[in-house]
């Protein structure tokens, strides 16, 4: 795993990265001074402060449209066409819009956002995305008073996506968030990775990322954002409601029926490295716990 070498990045980037983390930890700016990034998953020392390598982030993927093996997306997504690409925002809005990827990239400034990915299968990565808050994109439309949830829809294109020829999930891939979760500044529209264009296997040209939820909530290659009144049913809830709830907040105290969520394996560590403790809300509790005040998170898993 590559250690972050700060001499390799520009000062603005360091500042932005750190400020981003700091927000996440509720610390003052001065306390960042020159130490390593004050991340997030403490249990096993500062290894958690390291970015996962570009190679691991781009070759160890879940993207069932291209196959269910971890290497399939890298292998089969390379020629996927992401241009032209339009995103529709409709449903409970005053006036639906369609916006092209070019317009999105011109209108919204992508910044580097280092965020942790915790997969429900029990592994994790630390990823330097490029992106901006979903709330900015949603400010392009006026919501009606019935807009209580958002539903994300990924692209359906079985000609190009060999995995969609098999009914492993109901296609297109669908996910959803409550409106306050969608508007939270940490909920990111991802446009790039390691300062470069987003690779196809990571969800090009545009994917969502919600760092305090299990990775499957973060839909790739989205073509539609629909504002809805009722809680949407995601592809995973439809496939196995016992295993996948709507909220899917990272929670070490609520196990998935097949996998303990108490600890995680950091991708890039050697295979003998101990697993580290998983943190509530993936370490973002200071920022997001208040969204769930009073909710029984065992019931609303």
Q: Does 116 engage in binding with ligand MTE (CB under 6 A)?
A: no
Distance of alpha carbon 290 from alpha carbon 171, whole angstroms:
33
Q: Which of 213, 220, 224, 226 binds ligand MTE (CB under 6 A)?
A: 220
Minimum CB distance to ligand MTE, residue 101 (Å): 16
Q: Does 268 bind ligand MTE (CB under 6 A)?
A: no
Give dist(CA 69, CA 287) in Å, integer.
34
Residue 131 sits in the site that holds ligand MTE (CB under 6 A): no
Tell me the per-residue interface mask from 135 to 154 with ligand MTE, x by CB under 6 A, - otherwise.
Answer: -------------------x
Q: Is 267 in the site for ligand MTE (CB under 6 A)?
A: no
218 touches ligand MTE by CB under 6 A: yes
The answer to whether 129 contacts ligand MTE (rule: CB under 6 A) is: no
The residue behind tokens 């943190």 is 279
Strand order in the sheet with 86-91: 97-100, 86-91, 222-228, 149-154, 174-178
| 219 counts as binding ligand MTE under rule CB under 6 A | yes
| Residue from 74, 149, 173, 247 binding ligand MTE (CB under 6 A) | 173
- Determine if 288 is a binding residue for ligand MTE (CB under 6 A): no
Sequence-distant (6+) residues with CB within 8 A of 241 are: none
169 contacts 220 by C-beta, under 8 angstroms: no
Q: How many residues bind ligand MTE (CB under 6 A)?
A: 17
In whole angstroms, the minimum distance from the beta carbon of 181 to ligand MTE comes to 16
Residue 110 is encoded by which pair of tokens?
């992508």
For residues 276 and 263, the answer to whether their CB atoms sit within 8 Å is yes
215 part of the interface to ligand MTE, by CB under 6 A? yes
Told to check if 266 binds ligand MTE by CB under 6 A, we report no
Distance CA 92, CA 167 (A): 30
Task: Supply the DSSP symbol for 143.
Answer: B
Strands 222-228 and 86-91: parallel
- Binding of residue 234 to ligand MTE (CB under 6 A): no
**Of the listed pieces 10-18, 131-139, 214-222, 291-299, which binds ligand MTE according to CB under 6 A?**
214-222
Neighbouring CB atoms inside 10 A of 157's CB total 15
Please tell me whether residue 117 binds ligand MTE under the rule CB under 6 A.
yes
Alpha-carbon span 275 to 96, nearest angstrom: 46
CA gap 175, 151 in Å, rounded: 6
- Indicate whether 115 belongs to the interface with ligand MTE (CB under 6 A): no
Given the rule CB under 6 A, which residues bind ligand MTE?
61-65, 117, 119, 154, 173, 202-203, 215-216, 218-221
């Amino acid at each position: 795993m590559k250690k972050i070498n700060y001499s390799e990045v520009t000062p603005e980037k360091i500042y932005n990265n750190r400020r981003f983390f700091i927000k996440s930890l509720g610390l003052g700016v001065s306390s960042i001074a020159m130490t390593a990034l004050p991340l997030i998953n403490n249990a096993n020392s500062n290894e958690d402060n390291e970015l996962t390598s570009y190679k691991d982030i781009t070759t160890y993927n879940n993207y069932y449209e291209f196959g269910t093996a971890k290497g399939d997306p890298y292998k089969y997504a390379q020629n996927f066409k992401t241009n032209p690409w339009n995103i529709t925002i409709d449903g409970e809005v005053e006036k639906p819009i369609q916006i092209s990827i070019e317009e999105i990239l011109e209108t919204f400034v992508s910044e580097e956002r280092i965020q942790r990915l915790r997969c429900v299968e029990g592994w994790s990565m630390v990823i330097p995305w490029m992106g901006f808050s979903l709330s900015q994109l949603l400010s392009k439309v006026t919501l009606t008073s019935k807009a209580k949830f958002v539903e994300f829809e990924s692209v359906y294109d079985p000609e190009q996506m060999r995995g969609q020829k098999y009914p492993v999930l109901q296609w297109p891939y669908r996910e959803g968030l409550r409106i306050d979760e969608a508007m939270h500044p940490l909920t990111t529209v991802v446009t790039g990775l390691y300062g470069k264009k987003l690779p196809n296997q990571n969800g090009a040209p545009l994917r969502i990322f919600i760092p305090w939820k299990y990775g499957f909530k973060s839909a790739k290659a989205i073509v539609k954002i629909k504002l809805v009144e009722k809680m949407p049913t995601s592809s995973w809830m439809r496939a196995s409601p016992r295993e996948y709830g709507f909220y899917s907040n990272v929670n070490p105290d609520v196990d998935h029926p097949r996998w303990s969520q108490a600890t995680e394996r950091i991708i890039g560590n050697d295979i003998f490295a101990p697993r580290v403790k998983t943190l509530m809300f993936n370490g973002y509790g200071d920022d997001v716990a208040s969204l769930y005040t009073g909710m029984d998170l065992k019931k609303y898993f």
